[in-house]
Amino acid sequence: MPDRQETTEPLWVFGYGSLIWNPDFPVAERQIARATDWHRSFCMRSIHHRGTETAPGLVLALDHAPGAICDGVAFRVMPGAEAETLQALRDRELISSAYLETSLPLTLTDGRRVNALAYVIDPDHDQYCGNLPLVEQARIIAHATGGRGPNREYLFATADHLAELGIADPDLAWLSTQVRQL
């Protein structure tokens, strides 16, 4: 990601998981947005925030998948807060280097196209666990707890906020139902 301190372009950030309900930076604008060729999934083992090294949880990541779409929220950072936001996001998201910081083209619901900062999974990282069966994901999420609390709270908050925004995610809806039963 290029150094943003020299640019006057707005900084957009794509939220597809916890950033949707906890951006934790000053937001000037938010829009529902779509990223193409990416899929939101519980494909990253969490050894800090929602699990531990001995009992990892799962967190959402964008996994590259040609032809897929991922709807989420694009946040335009408040002008003047770009540098501090970028540093806070790096401290939050790059804790174990399993995410790659990148720029993704997004289409906003109002038709605008923007490039947004996004954190995507590194499929070569040892925390990557793509293609875990949903039943296994539910079992892990139901029982894992990390520094930011139970894994299930992360799932429920994300699924609930997606539903409130009118964003359908059948996998998260199914996982929420299964984890509540466990």
Catalytic residue numbers read: 93
DSSP state of 146: E
Residue written as token pair 């666990």: 129
How far is CA 173 from each of CA 64, 89, 157, rounded to the nearest angstrom?
21, 27, 11
The dihedrals phi and psi of 32, each to the nearest 5 degrees, come to -65, 140
CB–CB of 101/117 below 8 Å? Answer: yes
DSSP state of 124: T
Alpha-carbon distance of 121 to 116, in angstroms, equals 16
Type and span of the H or E element at 133: none
For residue 154, give the 3-state DSSP assignment: helix
